[in-house]
Amino acid sequence: MNAQLKLYVIFILLLFMSTLTYAQLKLGDNPGNIQKSALLELESKSQGLLLPRIADTTQTTLKNSPDGMIIYFIPNKSLYIHANNAWVKLLPEGNTITSLNGQTVSTQLLKTTNVAGTYAITSTAGNHTLNIPNATATTNGFMSTGAQTFAGSKVFNSAVIANGSFILNNGMTSTTGAVNIITSASQPIQLISGDITEIYGTSVSIGSATGTTIAQDLYLPHIQVDDTKDTVLLVDQGKVWKKRLGASAQTLPVRVVTTSTGITDDDYTVIRSGSSGAVNITLPAANGRTGRIFIIKLAKGASDVVVNASGSSFDGDDSNTGFNLTNGESATVQSDGTYWYIISTANPL
């Protein structure tokens, strides 16, 4: 009987040990809820897994550790795993990203360049290069220090300053105020070619912010006057040339002389007065004065006048170098750019 009981006890123990061999183990919360795929499961909302804290991996007990064993290595404050018969960091530095744009080297660099072309990223031998080309009329990109052409309208809320030449190929428009072109250089404002055919506003002023005169002649070879305007006014070094359109009154320069004199571009009518003997009145060169008109008048009772020209002849005749005015006569002459032509002469009334 006792022998039979012992056999039953041994059988029950063997059966229980067999069940434990294939059992799963769960520690922590909800011990009855076990993941079927886990041999060991930990569940907790306030506790964690504390691995063995090792200060020296050369200890005899750790030298022959199997691959896959994990410890917390105190000197480096890191998790270590035993792999290929050595202890290595579980997450080695420099290898957190194993591939970047197809590059797998441990050290990778980011670079930029601006080769002509389009935006692009190229990756070679761990170098990743972003290409941003210089902007062109058809390509977005950098504004460089070299010559460039841009397309599309651009709005600048502050001043645009050009230290070099400023060239307008298609005109300039101001929508809010006057356009002031201020220069300290001696270069004039001029068209490359052609005539000025249109001006805007009621008047056009040419002058200097600090100066008082125009040093050279203001040359308007083909100026046309709009008959709808009241007056045309030219002011040069204090001398006023004014013509009222549609009326008979004119204001033109007049100068009275008693001795020989040279006519200048500031003159229009020169009157010879006095009876001290014949005097010479010399016209300027006809060259460069196409269309210019002068009137020379001999006052009543004045001595004769000899009219000649500086380096020019009269009426298309190179041998004709001058003429005389007597007995109160007057003469109107005009230049064709080469000769002075006597347009008319008149005797006193």
Say which residue, 339 or 77, is predicted with more confidence: 339
Q: Report the share of the chain in percent with pLDDT over 90.
A: 24
The pLDDT value given to residue 245: 47
Residue 90 has pLDDT above 70, yes or no: yes
Are residues 189 and 181 in contact, defined by beta-carbon separation less than 8 angstroms?
yes
Shared domain check, 277 and 261: yes
Torsion angle, CA of 273/275/278/284, rounded to 10 degrees? -10
Q: Let me know whether 117 and 102 are in one domain.
A: yes
- The residues, any chain, with a CB within 8 Å of residue 230's CB and separated by 6 or more, are 244, 245, 246
Coil, strand, or helix at residue 165? coil
Statement: residue 238 has pLDDT above 50: no
pLDDT at 154: 86
Confidence bin at 145 (pLDDT 50/70/90): confident
Q: Report pLDDT for 237.
A: 47
Same domain, 118 and 73: no
Domain of 128 in residue numbering reads as: 94-150
Residue scoring higher pLDDT (93 or 275): 275
- 58 and 85, same domain (yes or no): yes
Q: Is residue 23 included in any domain, yes or no?
A: no
Q: Indicate whether 86 belongs to any domain.
A: yes
Question: pLDDT by residue (tens digit) across 293-332?
Answer: 999 999 988 889 999 999 999 999 999 999 999 888 999 9
Is 327 found in the same domain as 281? yes
Whether the pTM exceeds 0.75: the reply is no
Is residue 349 within 8 Å of residue 327, measured between CB atoms? no
Q: What is the pLDDT of residues 55-83, one digit of tens each?
A: 998 888 888 889 989 999 999 888 988 88
Is pLDDT larger for residue 14 or for residue 257?
Answer: 257
Considering 129, 150, 171, which residue would you say is the last residue of a domain? 150
Number of independent structural domains in the chain: 3
Asked whether the beta carbons of 309 and 286 are under 8 A apart, the reply is: yes
Q: What are 102-125's pLDDT values in tens digits?
A: 777 767 888 888 787 777 888 888
Please indicate, yes or no, if residue 209 is contained in any of the structural domains: no
The reply to whether 89 and 132 lie within a common domain is no
Residues 275 and 260: beta-carbon distance below 8 Å:
no
Q: Is residue 56 part of a domain?
A: yes
Q: Which residue has the tokens 């125009």?
A: 214
Per-residue pLDDT band for 191 (boundaries 50, 70, 90) equals: low
227 pLDDT tier (thresholds 50, 70, 90)? low
Residues 261 and 340 in one domain: yes
Confidence tier at 171 by pLDDT (50, 70, 90): confident
- Assess whether 80 and 141 both reside in one domain: no
Looking at per-residue pLDDT, the higher value among 133 and 240 belongs to 133
Closest CA to 264 of 303, 305, 236, 224: 236
Cα separations in angstroms, 331 against 85, 127, 240? 124, 91, 24
Q: What are the distances in angstroms from CA 78 to CA 7, 51, 92?
A: 54, 11, 10
Is residue 53 located within the same domain as residue 141? no
Q: Which residues pair with 332 in a beta bridge?
A: 295, 344
> What is residue 312's predicted lDDT score, i.e. its pLDDT?
93
Domain-located, residue 325: yes
Please compute the mean of the pLDDT values over residues 208-231 and round it to a whole number.
54
For residue 217, is it within any domain? no
Q: What is the per-residue pLDDT for 247?
A: 47
CATH of the domain at 270: 2.60.120.640
Residue with the larger pLDDT of the pair 27 and 345: 345
Q: How confident is the model at residue 309, as a pLDDT?
A: 93
| pLDDT tier, 186 (very low <50, low <70, confident <90, very high otherwise) | low
Name the token pair of 138: 């058809």
Given a cut of 70, whether residue 132 has pLDDT beyond it is: yes
Q: Domain check: are 54 and 128 in the same one? A: no
Q: Of 226, 166, 229, nearest to 196 (Cα)?
A: 226
Residue 85 sits in the same domain as residue 143: no
Residue 22 located in a structural domain: no
Same domain, 261 and 330: yes
In a domain, 333, yes or no: yes
